[in-house]
Amino acid sequence: MVFRSEFPDVPAVDLPIHDAVLGAAERYGDRPALVDGVTGESVSYARLAEAVRRVAAGLAGAGVRKGDVVALFSPNTTGYPMAFYGATRAGATVTTVSSLATPGEVACQLRDSGARLLITVTPLLPTARKAADLLAAEGRPLAEIVVLDGAEGHRSLADLLATTGPAPEVEIDPGEDVAVLPYSSGTTGLPKGVMLTHRSIATNLAQCDALYRPAEGERVLAVLPFFHIYGLAALLNQPLRCGATVVVLPRFDLEQFCRTIEEQKVQALIVAPPIALALAKHPVVERFDLSSVEYLLCGAAPLDNGLASACARRLGLRHLLQGYGMTELSPVSHLISRQDPAPSPGAVGRLLPSTELRVTALDGDGTDLGPGEPGELLIRGPQVMKGYFGRPSDTAAIIDDEAWLHTGDIGYVDDRGYLHIVDRVKELIKYKGYQVAPAELEAVLLAHPEIADAAVIGVPNADGTECPKAFVVRTPGSGLGAEEVSAFVAGQVAPYKKVRAVEFVEAVPKSAAGKILRRELRAREAAR
């Protein structure tokens, strides 16, 4: 069967993303749009809108034209949205680059995307220069490296803002022109450029309104990286579109995070599971007054219901909100509303307007399943990406002839219409023919009071059978042993789901968006 949203459809939003987000900026005038969470410096909506026009003019003066790709390689700063929307206003496509990337990884993304100009910050300049050198050695040098906070020999944000020429008037086709080119591995393989049009992003923002819309003046803490589509959509596009105030932090440090909430009277937290885990368990949280927080929305990876409840209780919230999506969905398909009096425990939300969902059997025969039956999630709607840049075969492998996006995620819809995520298709462990979901075991492990974090992958045993192995981070001072961990899990799961090996580690590798990097753990195992 096809599950359809219970909310009325929304019309496509045919606006360039900078207009969709900042179209009402003049109305908000002197209201703070951005606040530096470290220094307290504020940027008003009027100043932000003018900065975007000046940056667009400066980039146009530097030779940026419609269809060019501009790479933005920076942690969160108040200058980030000026550069981002300024580039799109100049007609460019922005490819957002992880601030944690190595020179080789940056060069790979620049090469694949065809970027001609790179915008960065001083701490990342050595990496940017090394990446540029790699490209130059191949005969495709960058036109320029702009350093937002200034560096000798490079144009800065101040230089762009000082441009006196007119802002360019660029004709943008919202349904065809690509606004953002983030990179994602999709369901399999190496990172690929995800073509998100101005229309798909702007329409997805409008779709979210039925379930989630920040209030005017609401203070939202932005620590998730803007270079990730989750951070870009939930911490820049949506709050700025709605007249909220975005309090910007460059990275996650729990003490700084809590101090900023207290000092800035932050009302909304948009986070990934590792932050929710820290808020639920870490003792440093008790040192700060977090009573201003009205709600917390968690996404990017599944969050166990027990952990969600513990986090909500500690912050004094009615419940913790969740959402579901992926880069290829611009990025949201499901959300839980703040107004929902009693969402299904553990659910990630209900379908956004204009969105359809199918749950198909895992045996590959394409059979549609009904409520309560887990299978692969297929999604169709205006938020589905245009495709993977330069990879038509990869696009065809994930978007079928009827425009259904095959997510690679396993989930089910309950009898109330809420979606529950079970795991990724490619991450399932096959133990003697049984399917074991790593996320389920991780949720069990995290319930142990002496386990601070955990990840599970499948590893072969002596006879080649794939078995669950847990990588466990102990809480400070814990003397927890491997046998105790195995016994704890065994007492709560079916016999075939038992953890068969345990390794204690200092940290679980995760992406900037908070997703467990299982491939790094697998590579570690393979190297042994």
Give tens-digit pLDDT for 202-247.
Answer: 999 999 999 999 999 999 999 999 999 999 999 999 999 999 999 9
Q: How many Å apart are CA 489 and CA 189, to the nearest integer? A: 31
Domain with CATH 3.40.50.980 in the chain: 45-171
The CA dihedral of 137, 138, 139, 143, to the nearest 10 degrees, is -80
- Residue 487 corresponds to which tokens in the numbers above? 């016994």
> Tokens 């200058």 — which residue?
79
The torsion defined by the Cα of 48, 332, 220 and 26, in degrees rounded to 10, comes to 30
User: How far apart, in whole angstroms, are the C-alpha atoms of residue 453 and residue 211?
Assistant: 31
pLDDT at residue 318, rounded to an integer: 86
Give the pLDDT band of residue 339 (cuts 50, 70, 90). very high
- Asked if the model's pLDDT at residue 526 lies above 90, the reply is no
Contact 170, 160 (CB under 8 A): no
Residue 149 has pLDDT above 90, yes or no: yes
- The yes/no answer on whether domain 203-425 falls in CATH 3.40.50.12780 is yes
**CATH 3.40.50.12780 residue ranges in the chain?**
203-425
pTM score = 0.89
Closest C-alpha to 178, from 298, 271, 94, 296 = 94
First to last CA, the chain: 46
Closest CA to 98 of 221, 220, 224: 224
b/e per residue 416-437 (b: at least 16 CB within 10 A): ebbbbbbbbbebbbebeeebbb
Name which of 71, 57, 90 is nearest 164 in CA terms: 57
Question: What pLDDT score does 189 carry?
Answer: 62
Cβ count within 10 A of residue 144:
17
Backbone angles phi, psi at 205, to 5 degrees: -60, -45
Kindly state the tokens that stand for 1: 């069967």
Q: Which CATH number fits domain 428-526: 3.30.300.30, 3.40.50.720, 3.40.50.1000, 1.10.150.20?
A: 3.30.300.30
Give the pLDDT confidence score for residue 146 in this predicted structure: 98
Tens digits of residue pLDDT in 419-453: 999 877 777 788 877 778 888 899 899 999 999 99
Given a contact cutoff of 8 angstroms between Cβ atoms, the answer to whether 384 and 405 are in contact is yes
Which distant-in-sequence residues (6+ apart) come within 8 Å of 370 by Cβ?
Answer: 1, 359
Question: Which part of the chain is CATH 3.30.300.30?
Answer: 428-526
Average pLDDT over residues 487-507: 92
Q: How many angstroms separate the Cα of 439 from the Cα of each of 287, 425, 428, 432, 470?
A: 31, 12, 9, 19, 11
- Which stretches within 291-373 are classed as H helix? 305-315
CATH code of the domain occupying 45-171: 3.40.50.980
Contact 376, 408 (CB under 8 A): yes
Question: Which has the minimum average pLDDT: 180-194, 259-273, 278-292, 398-412?
Answer: 180-194
pLDDT band at 26 (very low <50, low <70, confident <90, very high): confident
Ranges of H-type helices in 411-515: 438-446, 482-490
How crowded is residue 524: how many other Cβ atoms within 10 Å of its Cβ? 14
Q: What is the pLDDT of residue 425?
A: 73
